A and B are shown apart, each in its own frame.
Chain A
Amino acid sequence: MPDTSMPPAVAPPVLEIRGLTKSFGTNIVLDGVSMQVGKGQTVCLLGPSGSGKSTLLRCVNWLEPPDQGRILLSGKLMGFRDGGVVPMNGMELARARSRIGMVFQHFNLWPHLTVLQNLIEAPIHVQGRQRDEVIGEAEVLLDRVGLADKKNAFPAHLSGGQKQRVGIARALAMRPELLLFDEPTSALDPELVGEVVAVMKILAEEGSTMLVVTHEMGFAREAADEVVLLDLGRVVEIARPTEFFTKPKTERARQFLQRYVHA
């Protein structure tokens, strides 16, 4: 429902997470997480393996419905209707998800579709946009990630770095308000990390709104507006990268940096 009342003086953050809690059985994976991503911001979510980073991203687009807490996308409550308590039905959830782009650690491309078809699949069949327009836009996106010449190739014939650039272009083709990245370079051979990070840096500079789970500290240091450190399902520290990497406030952050940066 479009809000027809007076626009608020300050635009709400693109993503706001309040008191997010999620357990699997007795395993409390997220324990009251609150954080936000403002429009045009890049926030890096750091944390040791198993700290709940992937689960947090999956809660944002409701692939895992949270136990408690609220997810607000540009001020609109995710997962519930009319800001209330009635859960969204499958169609409403699908529509809400299509506003969020997701980039996966293992690319998750659709292997029976060409690169171009991977990009246009959801914009045409989920968003119901005009085919010609979507194809034109997809070609521009492929050009931007340096893969214009691969548009008719199948994913199986691409390198890992190329696959992930397709993954990013596929997410962008949805014209998302928010981009989620789950360790986008962790499955890549070291020599291929650079080409993916370069694309992400450009996106960050151009003002995309991104929440990036990564162990790529160089990217966090240079491209992030803010760094969030998650440990055992809790936010340990939220800071600007310059402060986080040079004078972390908490002991836990110092230990983390010892392990992941100075190792």
Chain B
Amino acid sequence: MTAAAFMTLLQGAGVTLAVSFAGILLGVPIGLGIALVRWGEVPVLRRVAAVYVSLIRSTPLVTLCLLIFFASPSIGIDIGPVSAAVLAMTLNTSAFNSEVWRGGLVSFPKDQLEAARSFGMRPSGAFRRIVFPQLWRSALPGLVNEMTLLIKGSPAIAVVGIVEVTRAAVRIGATTYEPLPPFLVATVLYIALVFGFVCLQRVSERTYGRAGASA
């Protein structure tokens, strides 16, 4: 395998990382918003959120990506492959993230909230100062797990013409008639990406500790 081919694979890995990262950056807070709407039993919106989650969760990422790519011009906005890919990743991961967040919220001890209310905290303040600092710690492993699933599912975005790492490997293999080396390199790159996220989780868990995990 040539140095040029290797660079192409690295570029592909860069695309995989960038698109996944964008999806995560948008999808994690959106997931939290969806979870809060359902947990807070916001009228109407909670039903919309529930339908959204079940629809997105049952749509394959490839299908979602194609749907967005081909549907967008017909409603007058031609968003292009990269935006379509990021949007599809975001929608997909936000639905799964919302379930992780919601699990943490549902199991959050009511008596702590009761104390917050009776000490005059507003719902927003109680969420920021009491719930969230504990919630993110309990949600982190599930969120990181979902991030790694997203990265591993990201070859789906190749359908709209994006050359991410797997597509790059396919192309190199097709021109050199030696598919094994590029796929080995691609596999190593995925492992490195996923390992990076897991390391991030370890570091943040160690830094912020699990002090007073239960009272």
Interface residues of A (CB under 8 A from B): 61, 63, 90-91, 94-98, 100, 102, 104, 106-114, 121-122, 125-127, 154-157, 163, 170, 174
B117–A97 touching, CB < 8 Å: yes
A91-B122, A122-B121, A155-B215 provided; 13 other pairs, C-beta below 8 A? A94-B120, A94-B122, A98-B120, A100-B118, A104-B115, A108-B112, A110-B130, A111-B212, A112-B212, A121-B129, A154-B211, A154-B212, A156-B213
Contact with A along B112-154 (1 / 0, CB 8 A): 1011111111110100011001100000000000000000000
A63 — which chain B residues lie within 8 A by C-beta? 114, 117-118
Measured CB to CB, the nearest residue on chain B to A111 is B215
B120–A97 touching, CB < 8 Å: yes
A98 lies within 8 A of B212 (CB): no
Interface status of B2 (Cβ within 8 A of chain A): no
- Bound-state CA distance A262–B84 (Å) is 76
Q: Which residues of A contact B213 (CB under 8 A)?
A: 111, 156
The residues of A that contact B112 with a CB separation of less than 8 Å are 108, 110-111
Known: A111-B212, A125-B129. A98 touches B114 (CB 8 A): no
Query: With A104-B114, A112-B134 given, is the CB distance from A98 to B119 under 8 Å?
Result: yes
Pairwise interchain contact A102-B118, C-beta atoms closer than 8 A: yes
> How far is the CB of B211 from the nearest CB of chain A, in Å?
5
- Contact partner of B125 (CB less than 8 A), chosen from A102, A108, A125, is A125
A-B contact pairs, 7 of them (CB 8 A): A63-B118, A96-B120, A102-B119, A104-B111, A122-B119, A156-B215, A174-B120
User: Which listed residue, B114, B129, B212, B214, touches A108 by the CB 8 Å rule?
Assistant: B114
Chain A contacts for B214, CB-based, 8 A: 111, 156
8 Å CB contact of A111 from B117, B120, B134: B134
Is the beta-carbon distance between B125 and A126 smaller than 8 angstroms?
yes
- Give Cα distance in the complex from A156 to B211, angstroms: 9
Known: A111-B134, A111-B214, A111-B215. Contact between A97 and B119, CB under 8 A? yes
Q: In the complex, what residue of chain A is closest to B211 when comparing beta carbons? A: A154
Question: Which B residues between 83 and 129 are near A, CB-CB below 8 angstroms?
Answer: 111-112, 114-123, 125, 129
B119: chain A residues at CB < 8 Å are: 97-98, 102, 121-122, 126, 170, 174
In the bound complex, do residue A126 and residue B120 qualify as a contact, i.e. CB atoms below 8 Å apart? yes
Given A108-B115, A110-B112 in contact, is the A122-B215 Cβ separation under 8 Å?
A: no
Chain A neighbourhood of B215, CB < 8 A = 107, 109-111, 154-156, 163
Bound Cα distance A106, B113 (Å): 13
